[in-house]
Amino acid sequence: MASAQVRVPVVSGGTEGALAAVLTAENELYLEAQPLRSEGLLAFARRLCGNEGAASEVKKLNGEPKRLLAGKWYRVPVELLTVELRRGVLRSLFPEDRTEPGGWRHRVTVRESLPDETLWRIAERFTGRGEHYREIRSSNGMADNTVYPGQDLLIPAQLLRPTFRRELEDRTVTVSSSSTGSGLPVTAEQRGDLAQRLEYGKDARGEYAIYRLKPGEALYSSVVVRYTGRIYAIDVNALAAEIAEFNGVTDVTDMPIGFPVKIPFDFLEPEFLPPGNPRRVEYEAGVRASEQYSNPVRSLDLAGITVILDAGHGGRDSGASKLGVWESTYVYDIMVRLKTYLEQNTAAEVFATTRDGSRYEIPDRDVLPYSRGHSVLTHPPYSMLEDPRVGVNLRWYLANSLFREAQKKRRDPEKVVFISIHADSLHPSLRGAMAYIPDAQLRKGSYSKSGVVYTSRREVREDPEVSFSWKHRVQSEGLSRQLADQIVGSFSRRGLGVHPDQPVRQKIYRGRRPWVPAVLRYNAVPASLLLEVCNLANDRDRQLLTSR
């Protein structure tokens, strides 16, 4: 018996040919499309998904056809579609819904072919879990679970399924074409309450985006940090100077409101480039690929879950510091507190990669004494008073060994998580937590270490060389993003600071080179992230870090 479903024509998708949007009773969302004349599978995928790489999944979903038949409808999952087509599907199926900075605003609707909407079904449809009805009820100030047709409900951003979350994020930054004045969407992370606007232009020097400064905005925070991915003070200042020179500005503190700041395409993160730009197309294809993966694991009290905790730096390497506050000291304290909490309040199995001294202790004080006694808990242990680079490498070797041990216990890979805790030192105008996840594109090739300092340790000998398949890298990016979104969302819900511009990132810029930290790049744990709990260069963040 066919599943109950709603099927409507797509209002607008930015492509030719017959198109229909489908929503099933099981909350599946997909596009149905007919091939164009003489259109093969690769061209079909390229037209609808923006890349030929989606062809294999489209083929599998439609029963492995040898060729596409004229007049026949074929399904394409909404997660694989181009931004324009995804938007067309959602607009057609949910014409009364809208996005806003806090989440997705849904209007309760009666559909003849589908069961009546309940709070549970709404939670299932938009978040993937019916259990989230409690958070939706709380967010909307509802006294009970009753919903009625025409009622508007806000589904909080941090709960949304990837499809709806990406639409929310895309809507946060609106791009207007300088030649036509028509709105064009640009993929970007949520930017708070203010929708930014870009224009595009070109001169003899090349192509650029234009951002018009608003009252109270500065070149550093409103342009460089927001649109180029740079966050470290030295990089922000250097790039701001280059952009100022490109715009003929001699004093960045004296730029008038409305000044059209031109940003060369080479400086922009790919999600801020215009639709159709090759870098943006490649970026969006990668995001769509990784978002196919989500963690299905549900566990009461974290039973069966393995948590690997890692504190950044330690020993000779104190990490970032500001006014006597040392990163290694405070992130280690956070790690110990988190480890203790998980062990005392959950059923999770918890491991740490390092230890300061012979046991884990939580000091009963705000200002912590500086310590250099950390060791990596390999067999035998490695004192971090020695080479810090060796210490970093041994930490991911140890994490990989713990991951293998969990698999020997027949635990699913999705039931293991790795969290490396750090505190950043960024431009002082920034504050709040930020999470880094492993970028699939930046984890190519293989990596190994040699020398007695490595081979004398059991964890290295177990598997001295690491390399990851494309599927593993894409899956890891997707699972890690889901974990990072949950953690960053938890910070936000509890009133803790979160970085205002793209709090979950796939890479770090130092100078012009993007890179992934070693503890993530060579880490075999699929769900892994590096959490920067705060910015030590920001006075408020530093005050919070040094108080209980």
Gap between the Cα atoms of 466 and 498, Å rounded: 33
Query: Is residue 5 included in any domain, yes or no?
Result: yes
Gap between the Cα atoms of 170 and 299, Å rounded: 32
Query: Is residue 514 included in any domain, yes or no?
Result: yes
Query: Is residue 464 included in any domain, yes or no?
Result: yes
My answer on whether 330 and 251 are in the same domain is no
Query: Is residue 160 included in any domain, yes or no?
Result: no
Instruction: Find the CATH number of the domain harbouring 451.
Output: 3.40.630.40
- Helix/strand/coil for 395: helix
My answer on whether 139 and 100 are in the same domain is yes
Structure confidence at residue 179 (pLDDT):
30
Structure confidence at residue 294 (pLDDT):
66
DSSP per residue over 233-295, as a string?
A: HHHHHHHHHHHHHHTT-S-TT-PPTT-EEEEEGGGS-GGGSPTT-HHHHHHHHHHHHHTT---
Helices (H) and strands (E) in the chain — how many of each? Answer: 17, 27
Of 261, 287, 313, which closes a domain?
Answer: 287
My answer on whether 274 and 315 are in the same domain is no
Per-residue 3-state assignment (H helix, E strand, C coil) for 417-484: EEEEEEEECCCCCCCCEEEECCCHHHCCCEEECCCHHHHCCHHHHHCCEEECCHHHHHHHHHHHHHHH
My answer on whether 325 and 471 are in the same domain is yes
Query: Is residue 188 included in any domain, yes or no?
Result: yes
Per-residue pLDDT of the chain (548 residues; tens, 9 = 90+): 456 888 888 865 456 678 999 998 888 899 999 999 888 999 998 888 887 778 888 999 899 998 999 889 999 998 888 877 888 888 889 988 888 877 899 999 888 788 888 898 899 889 888 888 888 988 888 888 888 888 999 999 888 888 888 777 655 433 222 332 222 222 333 332 222 468 899 999 999 999 988 877 888 878 898 889 888 878 888 999 999 999 999 988 888 888 999 999 999 988 888 888 898 888 888 877 777 776 766 777 889 999 999 999 999 999 988 888 999 999 999 999 999 999 999 999 999 999 999 999 999 888 898 888 999 999 999 999 999 999 999 999 999 999 999 999 888 899 999 999 999 988 787 889 999 999 999 999 999 999 999 999 999 999 999 999 999 999 999 999 989 988 988 888 788 888 877 889 999 987 778 899 999 999 999 999 999 999 998 898 999 999 87
My answer on whether 478 and 449 are in the same domain is yes
- Vertex 158, ends 155 and 159: CA angle to 5°? 55
Query: Is residue 164 included in any domain, yes or no?
Result: no
Residue 384 structural domain: 300-545
Structure confidence at residue 1 (pLDDT):
44
My answer on whether 30 and 125 are in the same domain is no
My answer on whether 464 and 356 are in the same domain is yes
Gap between the Cα atoms of 112 and 23, Å rounded: 13
Query: Is residue 384 included in any domain, yes or no?
Result: yes
Measured between alpha carbons, how far is residue 268 from residues 10, 58, 82, 263, 335 in Å?
32, 32, 20, 7, 35
Gap between the Cα atoms of 535 and 545, Å rounded: 9
DSSP per residue over 197-231, as a string?
A: EEEEEEETTEEEEEEE--TT--HIIIIIHHHH---
Gap between the Cα atoms of 37 and 180, Å rounded: 31
My answer on whether 29 and 105 are in the same domain is no
My answer on whether 69 and 101 are in the same domain is no
My answer on whether 385 and 396 are in the same domain is yes
My answer on whether 246 and 304 are in the same domain is no
Q: How many domains does the chain have?
A: 4
Gap between the Cα atoms of 387 and 390, Å rounded: 5
Gap between the Cα atoms of 319 and 207, Å rounded: 38
My answer on whether 482 and 535 are in the same domain is yes
Phi, psi of 361 (to 5 degrees): -130, 145
Query: Is residue 363 included in any domain, yes or no?
Result: yes
Structure tokens, 329: 């000291």
Gap between the Cα atoms of 23 and 77, Å rounded: 11
CA neighbor of 330 nearest in space, from 342, 343, 353, 312: 312
Query: Is the model's pTM score more than 0.85?
Result: no
Of 49, 74, 95, which closes a domain?
Answer: 95
